[in-house]
Chain A
Amino acid sequence: MESLLRVEDLRLHFRTAAGLVRAVDGVHLEVARARTVAVLGESGCGKTSLARALLRLLPRNVAHYSGRVVLDGLDLLELPEEVFRQQVRWVRLSLVPQAAMNALNPVLRVGEQVAEPLWLHGRVRRPQEARGEVEAALRRVGLPADFADRYPFELSGGMRQRVAIAMALVLRPQLVVLDEPTSALDVLTQANLMNLLKTLRWELGISFLLITHDVATASELADDVALMYAGQIVEFGRAHRFLRQPLHPYGQALRASVVSFREERTPQPLPGQPPSLVNPPPGCRFADRCPARFEPCHRTPPLVPVEGHGRVMCWLYAQEASRVG
């Protein structure tokens, strides 16, 4: 399958008073055209830093930023900042930030904010000229066109989230990063929004990178799942396989912790805590919490390819592979 985005050995480290934080530490992943990859992991595993690294929205305390990010043939880390701003950010790759409904400017009308990317990227000379496109963008996310004249406080949380999605789509990017798009919303609003994202994906042929901590949310949209733990992707593969039977012991534990009212099984808590990203343990970072830990786990596990699925970073499968081979 042709990949739209290819990320190789991406690293983003921050300098803090506590030491070097390895938020993104050697991430590999691919997003194919018109497919959705869910980045799944607990808080503090580096999911949001990964989004920032892709969009080059970096804070000042970056200590180390390296790797290769290729989007549609363009090597993003090589581009000068101004070229990246003009040709990539929001044009090919946009972001719906976490708690986006609170990210809108309270003193500007919704329409003015949706028009801003069009104006900044020179599609219109003045924001006022973008009216037609703004109305189309709002209708695309299921909002009435006259909402352009409203202020954010006049909208509910779900509607504001739709506005944030409209802003991310207004320049028709190929890939949209959705950072926890539904986590602060009500159940019915979440379901409505997921319906919207599914339809947008079918209609526009767009790719999503969905960042979430919730396995059930991931299942709503994902074609592929990238399981993230302590700054690394420890399993990457087809969603239908991952959601039924994850390979990595962390994926299995996370799956078992899911609470569902339809399943008889009692959910199992995941004991322990993720390691600090300041001084991650050597070897496998999940080893301390892993029920299947064995002798080689103190060394860094290899990325083992798995037929018909993807790859997993775990010695269990490396052993099997070598025994079979």
Chain B
Amino acid sequence: MSGEPLLVVRDLATWYELRRFGFLHQGWVRATDGVSLQVQEGEAVAVVGESGCGKSTLAKTLLGLVRPRRGDLWFEGRQIRTEDDWRWYRRRVGYVQQDPYAALPPFMTVRRVLEEPLVVNGVRSARERRARVVEALEAVQLVPPEEFLTRFPHMLSGGQQQRLVVARATLLNPRLLVADEPVSMLDASVRVEVLQLLRSFQQARRLSVVYITHDLSTVRHFCERVLVMYAGKVVEQAPVADLLREPRHPYTQALLAAIPDVDPNNARRVRAVPPGEPPSLVRPPGGCRFHPRCPVAISGVCERNPPPDFEVAPGHVAACWLYQAARRAVAGVTPQGGSLP
């Protein structure tokens, strides 16, 4: 099995329809618009981007919560097409939500929260269910489990709630975990703890993780590969260390430059930040979607032709015309807007 990716996604597009009065077609929100990615078994891949870049829609599509409009998805070598495929696929994917408090029913005890998926998935024996619930609590270090079984979510701290959500997501032994901003609602001091927990699951169980986040600084210690999204497209992907050492796409460069370190000199300097805001996904700019904000846009090229993926280093791909001269386009991905003049 080694070498064959667990999940393959090609040219995935999930659009939402805009309607007036509930039925008149107004247009499409192109939340993800041609995303391709692969996740190996036991690999953690981060998807990074600002709000509105389509990363949560990508997560929802990968979870089977919304259906893509276009594109192909393979899981363990099986193509997911029919509703039966989706049902089969969804049993193998776990979901760690962003806001643990909203993701846990307030009227259910910890025990019921964890027992419910077992009941739904046909674990009949009450003794087995209890054993698995206790085991799941121990795995996320909510110990001693007896002390937590009868508690309600509001009686847990934010970090404990999120660990319960992780326990629920991993209870049925999924192969893939989709974590949508799992720590953004938590205190800085607790974030590391939850991320380390996810990391330990990934490594101990050879679980694959898609980690959706807006926070590039958490990526370094908890993922192998990063995808950077902008306005519904993946603009750059690379192994974590490569991307952080040498970001190629001007958007990634801006994103990295904007993240403050703990440095007392920060207070004395103004950061270089590209002006403006991410574009509308209803009518995204033509050509490269970053060109209106890009400090190094090539006039006559970037606003006309959407850039293809260029492989700038082994495993490091950037969708930017700057790298056209140096490298060949990645096979199989061609720009839709025709070739360069």
Q: Which residues does A use to contact B, with CB under 8 Å?
A: 36, 42-43, 156-158, 186-192, 194-195, 198-199, 213-217, 219-223, 239-240, 243-244, 253-255, 257-263, 266-270, 273
Least CB distance from B11 to A in Å reads 27
Q: Which 4 A-B pairs rank lowest in CB-CB distance, beginning with the nearest?
A: A191-B258, A240-B264, A270-B189, A269-B193
Apart from the given pairs A258-B188, A273-B159, 16 other A-B contacts in the complex at a CB distance below 8 Å: A36-B267, A42-B187, A187-B50, A188-B50, A191-B257, A215-B262, A216-B259, A219-B263, A219-B267, A220-B266, A221-B267, A254-B189, A257-B189, A258-B262, A259-B218, A261-B216
State A223–B264 Cα separation when bound (angstroms): 8
Query: Mind listing 26 A-B residue pairs with CB under 8 Å?
Result: A42-B189, A156-B277, A186-B51, A187-B50, A187-B216, A188-B254, A188-B273, A189-B277, A190-B258, A191-B257, A194-B260, A194-B271, A199-B270, A213-B187, A219-B261, A254-B189, A257-B192, A259-B221, A260-B262, A262-B261, A266-B221, A268-B192, A269-B189, A269-B196, A270-B192, A273-B159
Say whether B157 faces chain A, with CB atoms less than 8 Å apart. yes
Give the B interface residue count (CB, 8 A): 41
Residues of chain B lying within 8 A (CB to CB) of residue A239: 264, 267
**B190 adjacent to chain A (CB < 8 Å):** yes
Contacts of B262 in A (CB 8 A): 215-216, 219, 243, 255, 258, 260
Distance in angstroms from A224 CB to nearest chain B CB is 10
Q: How close is B233's CB to chain A, nearest CB, in angstroms?
A: 17
B220 and A261 contact, CB distance less than 8 A: yes
Interface: B234 (CB within 8 A): no
Residue B173 is within 8 A (CB to CB) of chain A in the complex: no
A188 CB contacts on chain B under 8 angstroms = 50, 254-255, 258, 273-274
Within 8 Å CB of B255, what residues of A? 187-188
Q: How far is the CA of A181 from the CA of B159 in the complex (A)?
A: 23
Contact B157 A273 (CB under 8 A): yes
Of all chain A residues, the one with the shortest Cβ separation from B216 is A261
> Which one, A36, A219, A269, contacts B260 given CB within 8 A?
A219
Nearest CB on B from A291, distance (A): 14
Residues in chain B within 8 A of chain A (CB atoms): 50-51, 157-159, 187-193, 195-196, 214-221, 244, 254-264, 266-267, 270-271, 273-274, 277
A73 to chain B, nearest CB (A): 27
Question: Judging by beta carbons under 8 Å apart, are A223 and B267 in contact?
Answer: yes
B195 partner residues in chain A, CB cutoff 8 A: 259
A156 CA / B280 CA spacing, docked (Å): 11
The docked-state distance in angstroms from the alpha carbon of A222 to that of B265 is 10
By the criterion CB–CB under 8 Å, are B267 and A222 in contact?
A: yes
Taking a contact as CB atoms closer than 8 A, the residue among A187, A192, A266, A267 that contacts B214 in the complex is: A187
Q: How far in angstroms is the closest Cβ of chain B from A144? A: 13
B contact residues around A267 at 8 Å (CB): 192, 221
Whether B267 and A261, one on each chain, are in contact in the complex, defined by CB atoms closer than 8 angstroms, is: no
Is there contact, CB below 8 Å, between A213 and B188? yes
Q: Are B217 and A259 in touch, CB under 8 angstroms?
A: yes
Looking across the interface, which residue of chain A has its beta carbon closest to that of B192?
Answer: A269
**Minimum distance in angstroms from B159 CB to a CB of chain A:** 8
Q: How far is the CB of B311 from chain A (nearest CB, A)?
A: 23
Residue of A nearest to B157 (CB): A273
- What residues of chain B lie closer than 8 Å to A198, measured between beta carbons? 267, 270
- Asked whether A186 and B50 contact (CB < 8 A) given A158-B277, A191-B258, A219-B264, the answer is yes
Q: Which residue of A lies closest to B254 (CB)?
A: A188
Q: Is the CB of B221 within 8 A of A243?
A: no
B residues less than 8 Å from A195 (CB atoms): 270-271, 273
B261 contacts A216, C-beta separation under 8 Å:
yes
Residues of the B chain whose Cβ atoms lie less than 8 Å from the Cβ of A269: 189-190, 192-193, 196
Given A36-B267, A189-B277, A199-B270: A220 in contact with B196 (beta carbons within 8 A): no
Interface centre among B215, B218, B256, B258 (most CB of A within 10 A): B258
- B189 contacts across to A, CB distance below 8 A: 42, 253-254, 257, 269-270
What is the chain A residue whose CB lies nearest that of B53? A186
A189 to B221, CA, bound (A): 24
- Whole-angstrom distance between the Cβ of A259 and the nearest chain B Cβ: 5
* Complex: chain A residue closest to B48, CB-CB: A187
Closest A residue to B158 using CB positions: A43
Chain B neighbourhood of A259, CB < 8 A: 191-192, 195, 215, 217-218, 220-221
B102 CB, min distance to chain A CBs, angstroms: 15
Most buried by A among B218, B256, B257, B259: B259
CB distance from B136 to the nearest CB of A (A): 21
In the assembled complex, the Cα of A244 lies from the Cα of B265 at a distance in Å of: 11
Across-interface contacts of B215 in A (CB, < 8 A): 187, 259
> A261 contacts which chain B residues (CB < 8 A)?
216-217, 219-220, 244, 256, 259
Q: How far is the CA of A274 from the CA of B263 in the complex (A)?
A: 26
Choose one: A43, A243, A266, A268; the contact of B264 (CB below 8 Å).
A243
Asked if residues B217 and A191 are in contact (CB atoms below 8 Å), the reply is no
**Shortest distance between the CB of B186 and any CB in chain A (Å):** 9
Chain A positions within 8 Å of B273 at CB level: 188, 191-192, 195
- Bound complex: CA of A41 vs CA of B13, how far in Å? 42
Check B187–A43 contact: CB distance below 8 A: yes
- A42 vs B50: C-alpha distance in the bound complex, in angstroms? 24
Inter-subunit contact B271/A217 (CB<8 Å):
no
Contacts of A243 in B (CB 8 A): 262-264
Q: For the complex formed, measure the closest distance between the CB of B314 and the CB atoms of chain A, giving whole angstroms.
A: 21
Please indicate the chain B residues that have their CB under 8 angstroms from the CB of A221 in the complex: 266-267
Chain A contacts of B216 at CB under 8 A?
187, 261
Cα–Cα, bound, A157→B196 (Å):
31
Least Cβ–Cβ distance between A323 and chain B, in angstroms: 30
Q: Measured between alpha carbons, how far is A219 from B158 in the docked complex, in Å?
A: 25
Assess whether B217 is in contact with A220, with CB atoms less than 8 Å apart. no
* Chain B residue at smallest Cβ distance from A266: B221
- What residues on A are CB-neighbors of B254 within 8 Å? 188
B267 touches A215 (CB 8 A): no
Q: Please measure, in the bound complex, the distance between the C-alpha atom of A228 and the C-alpha atom of B4, giving whole angstroms.
A: 51
Question: Which residues of chain B are within 8 angstroms of A217 by Cβ–Cβ distance?
Answer: 260
